Structure 1
């Protein structure tokens, strides 16, 4: 299995069990080893009292992109820490895009940067995610789960 095939199968397996991302309308538009891009439409139910996208939904999109990127090696990986900075607002009825890229991976620890953009290309938020690999795999491979 090539690294790209592994990333694709890991994303497919993970998405099938990820009702949170699916129920929010997220779609994976790109997956590769250490990278993922997801989109999410901003619906009326996601708007806060200012009629802009609630930051929690923007964070959830960024966190999901981070999760798909760091699990692309078929090694169970969880968030250890995330920090998000909101730059501009998410608008009603627009499609947000989160692009996660691995910037460092050493042993069981990884660092991922996520950029959330609006349809017009503006930066909505940036997030840095720190990951930790735990025991197990998303799908059986090589006869073990390490």
Structure 2
């Protein structure tokens, strides 16, 4: 069982121009304040980032940043929507918006850069 599966993530779309991954916040994903744990939100964004950045190349993260805007609560469906900002030959940067629902408000913004190379044959 993968970490993403363990957390209850579902891949909705995956490709080099758009990747979407969702999860529903459960009681085990809450922090001491009763809202979604920052690590849970980061994990969701990071999964979408990993999928999109490895769609056409072999990629590993070199830098990430996550800003939190709003709290998520138990029962909320969160959707991480990943899109490319710039894809070069050896580096690529992606933007991942974590939304409440498919078209809901942005609760967090993740930016990540990967080192990339051709996939092995």
Match of residue 7 from structure 1 = none
Taking structure 1 as the reference length, what is the TM-score of the superposition? 0.77
Aligned residues: 120
Determine whether 1:112 maps to 2:100: no
Instruction: Measure, in 2, the Cα distance between the counterparts of 1:132 and 1:34.
Output: 17
- Map of 1:1-146 to 2, 5 A cutoff? 19-73=2-56, 75-119=57-101, 121-134=104-117, 137=119, 145=120
Distance 1:24 1:124 in 2: 19
Superimposed CA distance per residue, residues 65-110 of structure 1 (whole angstroms, 9 cap, x where no aligned partner): 011010111x221111000000001111111000000110111100
Considering fraction of residues, name the structure with more helix: 1
Task: Please give the alpha-carbon distance, in whole angstroms, between the structure 1 residues aligned to 2:69 and 2:60.
Answer: 26
Task: Name the CA distance, whole Å, in 1 between partners of 2:84 and 2:17.
Answer: 5
How big is the alpha-carbon RMSD for the aligned residues of Structure 1 and Structure 2?
1.6
Larger radius of gyration: 1
8 Å CA contact retained: 1:34, 1:70: no
CA shift for structure 1 position 111: 0.6
